[in-house]
Structure 1
Amino acid sequence: MLKNFNRAERLGHCFQKELSYILYHNIHDPRLFHKGTITNVSVSRDFKYGKVFIILWSLQNKKKISQYLKILQNASGFISFLLGKRISLRILPKLFFFHDSSFLEGEKISLILKKK
């Protein structure tokens, strides 16, 4: 049975793909030399806000992760501008960046289960 996707979910998938491209090819900030992986983009129903969840593989320190996210948040206007060039929409959501630690937590749980 096919799942019905609403427009916000479809835009989230599209934003995830385009934001990944933008972060790897268009952002040249030397403070962002650790490349992350965008795992999900959640767009609100009114398309005003977007939560971008990113995994930072090489950063384990919470302080460095928060600094990285703060840099991304400060560049969110420029990132939105580049996103608007790649996707033609009347309203682009305001982007907020969050660290996605679910994969790392799942990996820890998996290691614990393997030991037992």
Structure 2
Amino acid sequence: MPQEFSRTERVADYLQQELAKLLLHSVRDPRAEFVNITAVDVSRDLRYAKVYYTKLGVESAEAATDVTRVLDKAAGFLRTEVAKGSSLRTVPKLTFKFDESVGRGRHMEDLLGRARASDALRGNEAEADDS
């Protein structure tokens, strides 16, 4: 019977939960406030993990460079804390990346809203012309 989830997926889920807790309770830098961990990609050998995050009010990777720098600086501390609270033989080396998909999603939703409003306006004009 095949496993429902691979080990890398289980480790990624565990890291996502633990890092979110640690950022909320243990990291004291104000630049790391309101950071949300959106995903974690763990390499097949479990040595490296890319941690994707968003921050409230930050829409682009350029604006998040300062936050990324802070998180990269705290990576050693976070890795140590995860190791203390887990039974993992080795904890992956953490690198942080800003997740731009949330900002792109908001932009697409805005464009769709504008298109719907434009279509509704055209529909009202067409009904007025038919009368």
Partner of residue 43, structure 2? 44
Q: Summarize deviations over 1:51-77 as a string: whole Å, max 9, x none.
A: 000011223465441011011101110
Q: How does 1:43-82 map to 2 (within 5 A)?
A: 43-60=42-59, 62-82=61-81
Unaligned residue ranges in structure 2 (runs of 5+):
116-131
Cα distance change of structure 1 residues 62 and 6 upon mapping to structure 2, 3 Å threshold: closer
Q: Cα RMSD (Å) of the superposition?
A: 1.8
Q: In the TM superposition, what are the counterparts of 1:9-28 in structure 2 within 5 Å?
A: 9-28=9-28
* Residue of structure 1 in register with 2:123 after alignment: none
CA displacement 1:27-85 (0-9 Å, x = unmatched): 112443x3211010111000000000001122346544101101110111011001111
Q: What residue identity is the alignment partner of 2:4?
A: N
- Contact 2:60-2:100 at 8 Å conserved across structures: no
How far is the alpha carbon of 1:103 from its aligned partner? 1.2
Unaligned runs of 5+ in 1: none
Report SS of the residue matched to 2:58.
coil
Percent of aligned pairs sharing the same letter: 34
Provide TM-score, normalisation by structure 1.
0.89
Residues 81-111 of structure 1, C-alpha deviations (whole Å, 9 max, x = no match): 0111121211110000000010111111011
Size of the aligned set, in residue pairs, is: 114
1:96 aligned residue: 95
Greater relative contact order: 1 or 2 (C-alpha under 8 angstroms, separation 6 or more)?
1
CA distance in 2, matches of 1:106, 1:38: 17
Structure-1 separation of matches of 2:109 and 2:29: 35
